[in-house]
Amino acid sequence: MNKAIALILIALSAASCTQTEKGAGIGAVSGAIIGGAITGNVRGAAVGAAIGGVSGAVIGNVSEQPGQCYYRDRYGRRYIDDCP
């Protein structure tokens, strides 16, 4: 019963988040699970959570801007422009 209540509270709190926040949260959790499973220690889980959180935030941020895409110029700089 306590687990069900906790899951409902988590779902309700995530419903009010932006796509960037949701992406960061999902990425951090996924990264922690994968990093912990691969390395078998807490340090791997922490590194996985950090990498997953940043990656998820970037992906979530892009999804908030419909019709916009990330590009790189010939110097490696990133910019946002309309998608083709």
Cα separation of 47 and 36, whole Å? 9
- Looking at residues 69-84, what average pLDDT do you find? 81
End-to-end Cα separation, the chain, in angstroms: 50
Strand segments (E) across the chain: 68-72, 78-82
Q: Binning pLDDT at 50, 70 and 90, where does residue 10 land?
A: low
Number of Cα atoms under 13 Å in the Cβ half of residue 13: 7
Quote the pLDDT of residue 32.
85
Q: pLDDT tens digits for 19-68?
A: 777 777 788 878 888 888 888 888 888 888 888 888 888 877 766 667 77
Token pair listed for 75 = 């110097």
Q: What are phi and psi of 9, to 5 degrees?
A: -65, -40
64 three-class SS: coil
